[in-house]
Amino acid sequence: MIPRIQSRLPEVGTSIFAVMTAMADEHGALNLSQGFPDFHPPPELIELVHRHLQAGNNQYAPMPGVPALRQEIANKTGAPGGFTPDSDTEITVTAGATEALFVAITAVVHPGDEVILFDPAYDSYVPTIRLCGGHPVRLQLRPPLWSIDWDEVADRLTDRTRLVIINTPHNPTGSILCREDWSTLARLLHNTDILVLSDEVYEHIIFDGQDHAGALCHPEIAERAFAVSSFGKTYHATGWKVGYCIAPEPLMQEFRRVHQYVTYCVNTPVQHALAEYLSFSEHYQQLPSFYQHKRDLFCSQLEHSRFRFTPTAGSYFQLLDYSDITGQSDLEYARRLVREAGIASIPVSFFYEDAPDQRLLRFCFAKDDATLKTGAEILCQI
């Protein structure tokens, strides 16, 4: 007899990303749903991984991360913003950004604490908050620019608010925060003990000449923030699962207390390879133009379709509004597109607790140009 257990996350099932990818595989559909590139990491980086494997860098790395990589992260962070974190005490390498998000929340959220986040929200935030006994306070971004209503934030701050979660560039909408947003948040949090978790995994994928404004760009936010980034997104290597977190030393001490019992350390040869590659490569500086070409190609091919859209400001996701095509729910229509049109997307309602009356699908354009043209051709025939 299998013992009965009481689930810690009874409302959580298989993620919509896995569901739509499985459907795409079943029907042989073009998969523009899950957010991963269909092209390879830089060849020099792959060669460096191979070299460090052969060199014997295959045992446990230091718990916070390989020192050379943490130093390169510090150098990279300090270059654009003027703030350079201490590589020994303020940077930890993690098993992807998802681990960093989990660890940051777990390190500071206690039972009964409130955590403010913004729908549509990436799906890992809420389950982690609930595992900690925290209470998610879900506010909604305001379309069409998907901006934060800071007056609403001010109204929802209480003496139980422990953390505010920010995501910029935003998944799934592609919106970005500007420096004025951070100044407003700093003003709201002044003289409080409320912390900030800033999910910035698409930090280098911003378009139309705009700059990335992250948590570390504002001194008052930086002193109370965990900033999370992803090498997987930057170097087209999502399967390597290497990310990192930057936070002031008191916060990082708590972060590492948890991190050491979640993964302890991260893939050693890949860390050494990333450190060496960062020392000479400007790859991440080329990402805005690289992905803007793909965004513009995909959007231009859809100009004569029946979908409505505004080109995304950041990330490698594009929202398409199908209101002029059908009144079906986004899940129903996403499934229909897989079965009947042979193309997979993500229904945006799954990023909400209470989805508004809107008909939006998320498509990933981190694909080669031929794939994007094929996808657009399929959508234009609908």
* Residue-wise pLDDT tens digits, 161-198: 999 999 999 999 999 999 999 999 999 999 999 999 99
Longest dimension (CA), the chain: 62
Same domain? 209 vs 84: yes
User: How far is residue 1 from each of residues 4, 30, 149, measured CA to CA in Å?
Assistant: 9, 43, 52
Nearest C-alpha neighbor of 195 from the set 115, 304, 267: 115
Q: Could you tell me if 91 and 228 lie in one domain?
A: yes
Instruction: Give domain status of residue 54, yes or no.
Output: no
Please check whether residues 175 and 121 belong to one and the same domain.
yes
Q: What pLDDT shows up at residue 133?
A: 97
CA distances from 255 to 90, 104, 156, 251, 261 (A): 10, 6, 26, 6, 11
Same domain membership, residue 359 and residue 376? yes
Q: Confirm whether 51 is domain-assigned.
A: no
* Helix or strand (DSSP H, E) at 167: strand 161-167
pLDDT of 80 above 80: no
Do residues 130 and 270 share a domain? yes
48 located within any domain: no
- Whether 311 and 170 map to the same domain: the answer is no
228 — phi, psi (to 5°)? -115, 135
**Residues 242, 292 share a domain:** no
Determine, yes or no, domain membership for 9: no
**Is position 183 within any domain?**
yes
The stretch 224-245 carries a mean pLDDT of: 97
What proportion of the chain, given as a percentage, has pLDDT over 90? Answer: 92
339-352: pLDDT as tens digits: 999 999 999 999 99
CATH number of the structural domain spanning residue 259: 3.40.640.10
Does position 134 have pLDDT exceeding 80, yes or no? yes
pLDDT digit string, tens, across residues 89-123 = 999 999 999 999 999 999 999 999 999 999 999 99
Q: Examine residue 10 and state whether it is found in any structural domain, yes or no.
A: no
Q: Same structural domain for residues 233 and 342?
A: no
188 and 324 share one domain: no
Whether 289 and 273 share a structural domain: no
CA distance 199 to 100: 9
Q: Return d(Cα 271, Cα 67) in angstroms, integer.
A: 9
Q: Give this prediction's pTM.
A: 0.96
| Range with the poorest average pLDDT among 82-91, 231-240, 269-278 | 82-91
Domain CATH for 328: 3.90.1150.10
Distance (Å, whole) CA 302 – CA 345: 15
Do residues 32 and 319 lie in contact, with contact meaning Cβ atoms separated by under 8 Å? no
276 and 291 both lie in a single domain: no
| H helix or E strand, kind and range, residue 279 | helix 268-280
Q: According to the model, what pLDDT value does residue 82 have?
A: 63
pLDDT tens, position by position, 272-306: 999 999 999 999 999 999 999 999 999 999 999 99
Query: Which residues in 317-343 are b (16+ Cβ under 10 Å) and which e?
Result: bbbbbbeebeeeebbebbbebbeebeb
| Secondary structure of 181-209 in HEC code, one letter for each residue | HHHHHHHHHCCCCCEEEEECCCCCCECCC
Q: Which domain holds residue 90?
A: 60-283
Number of domains within the chain: 2
Instruction: Please check the confidence at residue 206 and state whether its pLDDT lies above 80.
Output: yes
* SS3 category, 113: coil
Task: Classify residue 6: in a domain, yes or no.
Answer: no
Query: pLDDT at position 81, please?
Result: 58
154 domain-assigned:
yes
Domain boundary among 233, 254, 283: 283
Order of strands across the sheet with 135-140? 91-94, 243-246, 225-230, 195-199, 161-167, 114-119, 135-140
Residue 79 has pLDDT above 80, yes or no: no
| Position 125 pLDDT exceeds 80 | yes
Q: Which residues contact 91 (CB under 8 A, 6 or more apart)?
A: 64, 65, 70, 73, 74, 85, 244, 245, 246, 252
Residue at which a domain ends, from 241, 260, 283? 283
- How far apart are alpha carbons 203 and 80 in whole angstroms? 12
**And the tokens for 256?**
């590492």
Please give the single-letter amino acid code of residue 296: D
Residues 241 and 325 placed together within one structural domain of the fold: no
How large is the average pLDDT for residues 47-58? 96
- Asked if residues 172 and 362 have their Cβ atoms less than 8 Å apart, the reply is yes
From 283, 303, 323, give the residue that closes a domain. Answer: 283
